[in-house]
Structure 1
Amino acid sequence: MEMNLQVELSKEDLVHYFKVIGEVDAFTAPVLKEKLISVQDTPGLQAEIDLSEVDYIDSTGLGIFIGFYKVLKEKEGYVKMTGVNARLKRLFEITGIDKIIDIEMEEGGNLDATV
């Protein structure tokens, strides 16, 4: 069974909103990477990645998000992940991604007091 990944992009001034739907793994990650790369050279880009419809991200997907973050940081940009469920939040904590990328839990999720 082939998993599909959809990445929808909308723009509002310098803010690019990505809506990711599906599972991010070695097979689907190129779809995500292609969409992110298409905008990553925009100086001062503000990227907001909605993961509310993503239940699974493997190491390939994590690498893509980290790479995107690094490129944007070099260009004075910013990355924020929204709609993160408890499972993904735990993954981001274990890998340390939550220390470099702004993570916003999904509505109804447990928000840390540090938010």
Structure 2
Amino acid sequence: MNILIDVRDLNDSKYVTIRGEIDVYTAPELKEQLLPISEMEKVNMIVDLRGVSYLDSTGLGVFIGIFKNVQKNHGEFKLVGLSERLERLFSITGLSEIMTIERKLEGELT
């Protein structure tokens, strides 16, 4: 499965949209795209996971590393648009306790 990653500037944030499956095969590409952003000083990174249909432990590891990098560089990291399945995965692993995670995007009514 392929992964599509789109990074754009939105106000004062780096807005990352991901579509596809995040697994052992696609995680390296995700890390390659997100790592340089996470190393920016005081970056505000928003990662939209609405288009992600699958996430395994390799993908979780990428997000943990990116989250730690953003924090180390005094930035903010937020995951948005999670499905119930992904929300449950982050909850079970305890990551929802340390990361900012929002199921709905800002401004969404449903």
TM-score of the superposed pair, with normalisation by structure 2 = 0.91
Shift of 1:86: 0.3
Aligned ranges for residues 18-97 of structure 1 at < 5 Å?
A: 18-97=16-95
CA RMSD of aligned residues (A): 1.2
Question: Does the CA contact (< 8 Å) of 1:44 and 1:72 recur in 2?
Answer: yes
TM-score of the superposed pair, with normalisation by structure 1 = 0.87
- Residues 36-88 of structure 1 show CA distances to partners (whole Å, capped at 9, x for unaligned) of 01212111000000000112110000000000000111111111011101000
Question: Does the CA contact (< 8 Å) of 1:55 and 1:87 recur in 2?
Answer: no
Runs of 4+ in 1 over 2 A off after TM superposition: none
Number of equivalences: 106
Of 10, 13, 19, 1:12 maps to 10
Gaps of 5+ in 2: none
Gaps of 5+ in 1: 109-115
Q: Percent identity?
A: 40
2: CA distance, partners of 1:13 / 1:83: 19
